[in-house]
């Protein structure tokens, strides 16, 4: 329990257990929050600067940008347009793309399982141009980057490690950068389908549900890897833990309930409380993850937001000409 982190892929959640100074710094970690014009929308930039920070956070050295907004899961076209622009803006801040850069977009996940279908469905909506530049280059000159997209599937369906598939494609296509999209897991239920994280450290497919595969990063692929993810599930123990916290907060206002049992629960550390819940649930829930019942509609909205952001970032000239 030394590196306590119950099923979260979000750097901002890993950072919440740290103690920061007035400048938002801890040992090896920096956190900067920015408010946005869109109400209730916050951008958090987490920088892990050295090995001390990486060990504390349990994540590689690099940059993690998170956009949180409840509008992501609400049918509000204007809000979605503003989130799309925000995501495009910070994506370009995370990695500067040359005008002639070639890009490989990888949609990770299983399109047959809705909470895990985000990556493949985003890849299907990315405007691919590599074939145009190769076949009729005069039509693509100075107007679009070379973009290819692939959805490699999952090991249980293909029998092939995702890394093996992507490494083979990278060796053949030779992109200058890989952008991988995947579904994640969060520690807080409130962040489900309401958070987008970008990082320049790569991604471990399946990590969100405890099914860690080989990392896709600059070391394994030989090119920079930008990861974009949305937490679409939360594990059952975390959900129960959040519920228990709400119950304890409500009990605090009732003096007649201020008994030894309440005091005992209050005295438990987050690690101890989570471990207790896991031990109780394990025989009944096993490795259970939960997603909202509206996940089909919400995934559709998230796919549009992320794919539109990628198209805007990768093809800025076409955007100004009204193609997107």
The model's pLDDT over 100-121, given as tens digits with 9 standing for 90+, comes to: 889 999 999 999 999 999 999 9
Residue 259 has pLDDT above 80, yes or no: no
Please give the average per-residue pLDDT across 196-216, as a whole number. 78
What pLDDT does residue 127 have? 93
Residue 5 has pLDDT above 50, yes or no: no
In the block, tokens 């103690």 appear at 19
Rounded Cα distance, 160 and 15, in Å: 34
pLDDT digits (tens, 9 = 90+) for 295-311: 999 999 999 999 999 99
> In which band, very low, low, confident or very high, does the pLDDT at 248 lie, cut at 50, 70 and 90?
confident
pLDDT digits (tens, 9 = 90+) for 124-134: 999 999 888 66
DSSP string, 25-93: EETTEEEEEEE-SSTT-EEEEEEE-SHHHHHHHTS-SEEEEEEE-GGGGS--HHHHHHHHHHHHHHHHH
Q: Does residue 305 sit in helix, strand or coil?
A: helix
Whether the predicted pLDDT of 200 surpasses 90: yes
Q: What is the pLDDT of residue 1?
A: 35
Which of 292, 309, 311, 308 minimizes the C-alpha distance to 73? 292
Question: What is residue 148's predicted lDDT score, i.e. its pLDDT?
Answer: 96
Q: Where are the alpha helices (DSSP H) in the chain?
A: 11-15, 51-57, 77-94, 118-125, 130-135, 137-140, 155-158, 162-173, 218-221, 236-251, 260-267, 270-285, 295-314, 316-320
Q: What's the mean pLDDT in 262-280?
A: 75
Q: List the domain boundaries for the chain.
A: 98-237+288-320
Summarised one tens digit per residue, pLDDT across range 175-184 is 999 999 999 9
CATH of domain 98-237+288-320: 3.40.50.1450
Closest CA to 28 of 43, 12, 15, 10: 15
């Amino acid at each position: 329990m030394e590196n306590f982190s119950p099923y979260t892929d979000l750097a901002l959640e890993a950072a919440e257990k740290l103690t920061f100074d007035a400048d938002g710094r801890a040992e090896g970690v920096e956190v900067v929050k920015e408010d946005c014009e869109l109400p209730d929308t916050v951008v958090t930039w987490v920088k892990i600067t050295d090995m001390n920070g990486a060990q504390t956070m349990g994540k590689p050295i690099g940059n993690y940008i998170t956009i949180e907004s409840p509008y992501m899961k609400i049918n509000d076209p204007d809000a979605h347009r503003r989130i799309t622009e925000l995501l495009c803006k910070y994506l370009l801040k995370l990695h500067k793309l040359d005008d002639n850069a070639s890009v490989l977009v990888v949609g990770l996940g299983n399109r047959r399982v809705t909470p895990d279908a985000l990556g493949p469905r985003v890849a299907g909506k990315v405007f691919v141009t590599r074939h145009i530049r190769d076949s009729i280059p005069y039509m693509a000159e100075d107007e679009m980057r070379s973009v290819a997209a692939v959805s490699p599937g999952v090991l249980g369906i293909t029998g092939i490690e995702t890394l093996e598939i992507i490494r083979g494609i990278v060796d053949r296509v030779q992109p200058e950068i890989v952008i991988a999209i995947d579904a994640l897991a969060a520690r807080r239920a409130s962040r489900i389908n309401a958070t987008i994280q970008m990082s320049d450290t790569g991604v471990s497919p399946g990590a969100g549900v405890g099914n860690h595969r080989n990392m896709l990063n600059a070391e394994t692929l030989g090119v920079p890897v930008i990861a974009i993810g949305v937490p679409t599930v939360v594990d059952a123990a975390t959900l129960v833990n959040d519920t228990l916290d709400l119950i304890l907060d409500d009990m605090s206002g009732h003096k007649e309930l201020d008994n030894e049992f309440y005091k005992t629960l209050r005295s438990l550390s987050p690690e101890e409380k989570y471990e207790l819940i896991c031990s109780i649930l394990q025989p009944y829930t096993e490795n259970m993850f939960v997603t909202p019942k509206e996940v089909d509609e919400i995934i559709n909205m998230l796919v549009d937001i992320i794919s539109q952001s990628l198209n805007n970032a990768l093809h800025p000239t076409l955007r100004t000409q009204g193609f997107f």
